[in-house]
């Protein structure tokens, strides 16, 4: 039922045509070993990997050697060579020096590789969980360094006559469109998980529709979604997922549709099928919905005043310390403390809108500062008149309190007129695919009636 969409693959970029050898003619490293298999004989703190080079493997080196006495074995030696890659996993706090030290390299190796003529920046930002593998040449000198960021992306640094040069290698996976749909009976997380959506994809879905739907408070049983996205495969193995391509979400009987559009500058945004941006000038809920612990009743007795207090905002109960975001771009017009509000922040958005955030544990901004949408301005707490940690959020239009959950939010920038043709060309096939799946499902449902 799913059409396979193959992307152009350039897997062979793993095997460079030109190989610049170091001082010796034969480097004992083969570039682009797909996965470095840890040997059973793991030495202290390092993995020694030994791989047999197939007899028909490309010649390792033809480069002129400054040591003419070294015999050139690359053309006539058909005996299997042993590849000695050693690999280490980046831990928290690691840098090139500590990683190289574990691999038995010294400070001058670090210096040489860190001063590579190309792609030196990535080596300064090693992240935990990534891998660095090294390979020595016949003389025991560092010949190659492979820095692996993900299954699809790595950097290769090779010793040349005038120092190391680096290059970025990105493998192109095959893409297979995948369709998922669910009706919500328990919670978005549970039901989406049940049909095979990862937590990250659920967040992606919520981020697309979160401008119209309050995922913190407004998801009901019977709500439903359908989503189309790519799964990525490399050599038949699933290596990840791509962006959501198109999706629908039905909330309280209203169905919202969204489709991905790649803008001219390469950035990705989601639009309604007729070209209105999903993104609004304001977040519907100014905090991470996954951290909401319970719904507050909106007409409750005020715990401190013991009377029904006119409630002019929304309360989001969430663990103390949950980040609170600026709902939209604006300027901080107040950041302070009062007995009732506790720590509070007010933001002015243009001439018309003000948003207010109360009972914060911490304020992470100050008066006069400009903030952009999504910027953390404080954390959830229970300062002021509050019995438990929650965010009290108010939304004012021309000085009048409006319900933040239902107020019509102004749109962010609409797609330009001269881009409409391109927009429909890109998005119509995606929406058609989604509705074909949805339609198929409806047809099946009819058959069972
Ligand atoms: Zn409140």
Do the Cβ atoms of 421 and 296 come closer than 8 Å? no
C-alpha 369 to ligand 1 mean position (Å): 25
Q: What is the pLDDT of residue 87?
A: 94
Report the candidate in 172, 194, 168 with the shortest Cα–Cα distance to residue 183: 194
Q: Give me the pLDDT at residue 1, please.
A: 40
Distance 60 CA to ligand 1 centre (A): 70
DSSP 13: G
Measure 315 CA to ligand 1 centroid, in angstroms.
5
In angstroms, the CA 224 to CA 208 distance is 15
Paired residues of 271 in beta bridges = 259, 277
pLDDT, one tens digit per residue, over 59-118 is 333 333 333 333 333 443 443 344 688 999 999 999 999 999 999 999 999 999 999 989
Q: Are 323 and 364 in contact (CB under 8 A)?
A: no
Q: What is the pLDDT of residue 143?
A: 93
Cα(350) to ligand 1 centroid in Å equals: 24
114 SS3 class: helix
Output the CA 264–ligand 1 centroid distance in Å.
Answer: 43
**Rounded CA separation 260/433 (Å):** 13
User: How far apart are the CA of 205 and the centre of ligand 1, in A?
Assistant: 28
Measured in Å, residue 299 CA sits from the centre of ligand 1 at 10
The Cα 19–Cα 62 span in angstroms is: 7
Q: To which residue do tokens 């519907």 refer?
A: 284
CA of 388 to the centre of ligand 1 (A): 11
CA of 142 to the centre of ligand 1 (A): 63
Task: Give DSSP secondary structure letters for 256-320.
Answer: EEEEEEE-TTS-EEEE-TTS-BS-BSS-SSSB-GGG--EEPPSS-B-TTT-SBPPP-SEEEE--T
Distance of CA 143 from the midpoint of ligand 1 (Å) = 63
- Distance from the Cα of residue 132 to its chain's centroid: 22
- Taking the centre of ligand 1 as the mean of its atom positions, its distance from the CA of residue 360, in whole angstroms, is 12
Token match 């970029």: residue?
Answer: 13
* The predicted structure's pLDDT at residue 306: 44
pLDDT for residue 28? 55
**Per-residue tokens: 128:** 């935990």
163, 22 contact by CB (below 8 A)? no
> How far does the centroid of ligand 1 lie from the alpha carbon of residue 308, in Å?
12
Distance separating alpha carbons of residues 357 and 350, to the nearest angstrom: 17
Cα(393) to ligand 1 centroid in Å equals 7
Spacing, Cα 6 to ligand 1 middle (Å): 52
CA–centroid distance, residue 343 to ligand 1 (Å): 13
CA of 346 to the centre of ligand 1 (A): 15
CA angle 173, 179, 185 (to 5 degrees): 135
Map residue 112 onto helix, strand or coil: helix
Sign of the four-CA dihedral 31, 35, 40, 46: positive
pLDDT at residue 448, rounded to an integer: 56
Å from CA of 321 to ligand 1 middle: 17
11-170 in CATH: which number?
A: 3.10.450.350
| Blockwise average pLDDT, block size 10, the chain, 449 residues | 39 37 44 40 35 35 36 39 80 94 93 91 93 92 93 93 93 94 92 93 92 86 96 92 96 95 92 92 85 52 48 87 94 96 96 95 96 95 92 93 85 84 96 90 62
Closest among 421, 374, 408 to 261, alpha carbons compared: 421
> How many angstroms is it from 313 CA to the middle of ligand 1?
6
Q: Give 390 Cα–ligand 1 centroid separation in angstroms.
A: 8
CATH for 174-280+415-448 (1.10.287.3510, 3.90.10.10, 2.40.160.10, 3.10.450.350): 3.10.450.350
CA of 18 to the centre of ligand 1 (A): 67
**92 burial via Cβ count (<10 Å: 0-12, 13-18, 19+):** exposed
User: Which long-range contacts does 437-442 make (Cβ < 8 Å, 24+ apart)?
Assistant: 437/1, 437/179, 437/181, 437/226, 437/228, 438/181, 438/226, 438/248, 440/1, 441/181, 441/226
State the pLDDT at residue 395.
94
The pLDDT value given to residue 30: 56
Residues 6 or more apart whose CB falls under 8 angstroms from that of 64 comprise none
The full DSSP string for 78-106 is -SPPEEEEEEEE--TT--HHHHHHHTT--
Q: How far is the CA of 134 from the centre of ligand 1 (A)?
A: 58
Using CA atoms, how far apart are residues 378 and 345, in angstroms rounded to an integer? 8
Separation of 305 CA from ligand 1 center, angstroms? Answer: 13
405/255 Cα distance (integer angstroms)? 17
> How big, in percent rounded to 5, are the helix, strand and coil portions of the chain?
15, 35, 50
Q: How many helices (H) and strands (E) does the chain have?
A: 5, 21
Cα 309 to ligand 1 centroid, rounded to whole Å: 10
Instruction: Give the Å distance between the CA of 249 and the centre of ligand 1.
Output: 28
Compute the radius of gyration of the chain from its Cα atoms: 29
Q: What is the DSSP letter of 50?
A: E
May I ask the CATH architecture of the domain 289-402?
A: Distorted Sandwich (2.70)
Helix ranges restricted to H, 155-198: 188-194
Query: Ligand 1 centroid vs 391 CA: distance in angstroms?
Result: 7
Give residue limits of the domains in the chain.
Answer: 11-170, 174-280+415-448, 289-402
- How many Å lie between the centroid of ligand 1 and the Cα of residue 349? 21
CATH topology of 174-280+415-448 equal to that of 289-402?
no
Q: How many other C-beta atoms can be found within 10 angstroms of the C-beta atom of residue 305?
A: 10
Q: Are 255 and 246 in contact (CB under 8 A)?
A: no
Identify the three-state secondary structure at position 58. coil
Cα 320 to middle of ligand 1, angstroms: 15
């Amino acid at each position: 039922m799913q059409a396979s969409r193959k992307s152009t693959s350039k897997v062979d970029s793993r095997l460079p045509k030109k190989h610049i050898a170091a001082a010796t003619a034969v480097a004992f490293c083969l570039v682009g070993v797909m996965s470095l298999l840890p040997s059973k004989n793991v030495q202290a703190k390092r993995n020694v990997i030994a791989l047999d080079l197939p007899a028909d493997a490309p010649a390792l080196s033809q480069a002129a050697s400054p040591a003419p006495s070294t015999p050139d074995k690359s053309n006539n030696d058909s005996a299997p060579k042993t590849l000695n890659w050693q690999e280490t996993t980046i831990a928290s706090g690691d840098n090139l020096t500590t990683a190289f030290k574990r691999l038995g390299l010294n400070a001058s190796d670090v210096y040489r590789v860190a001063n590579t003529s190309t792609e030196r920046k990535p080596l300064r930002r090693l992240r935990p969980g990534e891998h660095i593998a090294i390979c020595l040449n016949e003389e025991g000198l560092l010949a190659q360094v492979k820095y692996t960021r993900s299954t699809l992306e790595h950097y290769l640094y090779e010793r040349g006559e005038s120092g190391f040069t680096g290059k970025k290698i990105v493998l192109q996976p095959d893409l297979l469109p995948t369709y998922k749909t669910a009706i919500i009976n328990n919670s978005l997380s549970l039901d989406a998980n049940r049909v095979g959506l990862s937590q990250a994809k659920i967040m992606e879905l919520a981020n697309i529709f979160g401008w119209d739907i309050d995922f913190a408070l407004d998801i009901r049983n019977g709500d439903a979604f359908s989503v189309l996205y790519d799964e990525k495969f490399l050599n038949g193995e699933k290596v990840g997922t791509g962006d959501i391509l198109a999706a629908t979400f039905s909330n309280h009987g209203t169905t919202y549709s969204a489709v991905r559009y790649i803008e001219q500058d390469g950035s990705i945004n989601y639009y309604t099928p007729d070209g209105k941006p999903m993104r609004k000038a304001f977040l519907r809920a100014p905090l991470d919905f996954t951290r909401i612990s319970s719904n507050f009743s909106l007409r409750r007795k005020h715990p401190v005043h013991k009377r029904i207090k006119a409630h002019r905002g929304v309360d989001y109960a969430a663990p103390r310390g949950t980040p609170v975001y600026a709902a939209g771009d604006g300027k901080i017009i107040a950041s302070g403390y009062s007995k009732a509000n506790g720590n509070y922040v007010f933001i002015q958005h243009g001439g018309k809108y003000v948003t207010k955030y109360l009972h914060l544990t911490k304020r992470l901004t100050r008066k006069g500062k400009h903030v952009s949408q999504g910027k953390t301005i404080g954390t959830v707490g229970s300062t002021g008149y509050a019995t438990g940690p929650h965010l009290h959020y108010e939304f004012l239009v021309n000085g009048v309190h409006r319900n933040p959950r239902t107020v019509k939010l102004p749109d962010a920038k609409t797609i330009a007129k001269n881009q409409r043709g391109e927009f429909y060309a890109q998005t119509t096939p995606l929406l058609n695919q989604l509705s074909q799946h949805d339609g198929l499902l409806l047809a099946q449902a009819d058959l069972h009636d």
